[in-house]
Homo-oligomer: A and B are copies of this chain.
Amino acid sequence: MNSTAEIPATTRQSERLGELIEERIVTGVYPPGTRLDEQELADTFGVSRTPVREALIQLSSVGLIEIRPRRGATVPEVGADRVCEMFEVMAELEAMCGRLAARRITPDEQIALQKAHRACEAARDANTPDVYYQLNEVFHQRIYEASHNGFLVEQATALHRRLRPYRRLQLRVRNRMATSFNEHQAIVDAIIKGDSDLASAQLRAHVTVQGERFADLVATLRDFKAGT
């Protein structure tokens, strides 16, 4: 598909380390509030402190961890309100992707988009939330690409990645797959039709509900906690 596939075959350990640590953060192995000791990480991964430091600095500048001078790195307690803010921005980025995609999508990309969409449908019918979750990412990625704005694709992808753990929480919400798929359908229709305003609005709403669902979930958890 993408003939400009770049396989840099990075020799930098710090890059690989960054991914490993990021993985452990988003999967909850290093929950919020965790102190990331450099020596400890170095021992864990069998390398020296140097690549670990480089990885931490990179993660820090992406916003995944916080580094306070002379006090080390910690996984930040991402406040629920913060996450909501991020969903708010995500909604707008996706809306922008949709708006541009409706105007710029090529025939090939239309096919790819519908293919991804039908794959989601299959996952819905099979009632396999995990698969649907995966395919959903592909679906959105297709829309990003159809915007024909490389910088936007990067930004949207990055934020999407960062929000992944919070989106994951909603996997098994009642009727989530069916609702999501119907929203996707409307989005695809709008894009194919070339209705940029509609596509934009649909996508914004689609993502915004996720943010609201997250807020609901947090509120529920808080009440639950308070109840005990």
Contacts and interface: CB of A to CB of B under 8 A. Distances in A.
Majority secondary structure, A binding face: helix
A218 to B, nearest CB: 16
Interface string A70-114: 100000000000100110110011001000100000000000000
B69 A12 contact: yes
A53 interface: yes
Given A54-B57, A58-B58, A96 B89 contact: yes
Interface string A1-12: 000000011111
How many of chain A's residues touch chain B, expressed as a range? Answer: 20 to 34
A160 to B, nearest CB: 14
A62 interface: yes
Nearest to A89: B152
Nearest to A159: B155
A150 B86 CA distance: 9
A60 B149 CA distance: 20
A224 interface: no
A172 interface: no
Contacts of A96: 89, 92
B152 A85 contact: yes
A151 B81 CA distance: 10
A14 interface: yes
Given A57-B54, A57-B58, A68 B8 contact: yes
Contact of A85 (B12, B53, B88, B151): B151
A150 B82 contact: yes
13 contacts: A8-B69, A10-B69, A11-B69, A12-B69, A57-B58, A58-B61, A61-B61, A85-B150, A85-B151, A85-B152, A88-B149, A89-B151, A89-B155
For the complex of A and B, the 8 pairs showing the least CB-CB separation, nearest first, are: A85-B151, A11-B69, A92-B96, A61-B61, A85-B149, A58-B61, A10-B69, A86-B151
Interface of A: 8-12, 14, 50, 53-54, 57-58, 60-62, 67-70, 82, 85-86, 88-89, 92-93, 96, 100, 149-152, 155
